Amino acid sequence: MTGWRDLAELVRAPAALSVPGDVIAGAAAAGTLRPRTLALAGASVCLYWAGMAANDLADRKIDAVERPGRPIPSGRVRPGTALGVAVALTGAGVTIAALAGGRRAAAVAVPLAGAIWAYDLVAKQTAAGPAVMAACRGLDVLLGAGTGRRRAAVPAACTVAAHTYLITLLSRRETTGATAALPASTLAGTAVVAGAAASPTTTVGGLLSAWYAARFGAAQQRALTSPDATTLQGAVTAGITAFPALQGALTARAGRPVAGVAVAGAALLAGPLARKVSPT
């Protein structure tokens, strides 16, 4: 019988800490950071969890060989249950977004949901996979803009998308290993992302950007000398758990340093939780 821990593992529950900051950073940039932003963040979490369930459903045959301990290939979660969870969470995410942000939020939530399913079912194993996943996180940032200045949130969306692209490149080799060229290229990209997130006028933003670069960069540096599957998986985990620091830097850059620190604080929880339930 499927238990709560099995479902938590299916949707990578702790990894959801990397999600609300997308919406908050987008809202801060668009000038719409207010209480209802929390509802949009909840919608974002639902869509993220839906994507994780759909991912494992689509990958169940591959996981049976490469990761037999995952919920579906191990028999702890049935494919039909995973499908039901994915569909229900998708519906919940879109509905919450529409109720909290109206038509403008729904106009982002619907294509975001479509992009998530497209990645899991079609794009993941293709050369377009990293770009589609990056688009998902970029749209997630724009979801936070609500009725505000959506164009003002585009730079933050592009920065988060770029970080996502780097993580996705690493994740494609986390079961097979790679050469040192892969972490070398993503490490260079991390430096660019950190520079884009840093604020020339806000010390808090600069410090959070540096924290992001140090947290994600250190794992990639280890992969430079040992680009095996285990080390690359560690780099992917570091990239996921570093999301809040990046989002916090972007929030602070938008003139909301206190909110930025609050967002970045999720990174302190992400690491310990990742040791209990893998975010990858």
Q: Tell me the per-residue pLDDT of 29-43, one tens digit each, with 9 for 90 and over.
A: 999 999 999 999 999
Percentage helix, strand, coil for the chain under 3-state DSSP, each rounded to 5 = 75, 0, 25
Q: Enter the DSSP assignment of 45.
A: H
Domain count, the chain: 1
In CATH, what number is assigned to the domain containing residue 131? 1.10.357.140
Q: Is residue 273 part of a domain?
A: no
pTM for this structure?
Answer: 0.94
Q: Give the angle subtended at the CA of 211 by the CAs of 30 and 220, to the nearest 5°.
A: 110
Please check whether residue 27 is in contact with residue 144, taking contact to mean a CB–CB distance below 8 angstroms. Answer: yes
Q: Is residue 275 part of a domain?
A: no
Q: What is the mean pLDDT of residues 99-109?
A: 95
Identify the pLDDT of residue 277: 73
Q: Is residue 277 part of a domain?
A: no
Q: Is residue 256 part of a domain?
A: yes
Cα dihedral 44, 156, 271, 72 sign: positive
What average pLDDT is seen over the chain?
A: 94
pLDDT in tens, 144-189: 998 788 999 999 999 999 999 999 999 999 999 999 999 999 999 9
Please check whether residue 29 is in contact with residue 108, taking contact to mean a CB–CB distance below 8 angstroms. Answer: no
Q: Is residue 240 part of a domain?
A: yes
Single-letter amino acid code for the residue at 154? V
Name which of 47-51, 75-79, 110-114, 275-279 the model is least confident about.
Answer: 275-279
Q: Is residue 279 part of a domain?
A: no
161-165, 200-204, 269-273, range with greatest mean pLDDT: 161-165
Q: Is residue 209 part of a domain?
A: yes
Q: Is residue 188 part of a domain?
A: yes
**φ/ψ of residue 76, rounded to 5:** -75, -25
Q: Enter the DSSP assignment of 152.
A: G
Domain coverage including residue 251: 4-268
User: Which of 252, 226, 220 lies closest to 239, judged by CA?
Assistant: 220
Question: Measured between alpha carbons, how far is 19 from 21 in angstroms, rounded to an integer?
Answer: 5
Cα(first)–Cα(last) distance of the chain, in Å? 24
Identify the pLDDT of residue 219: 97
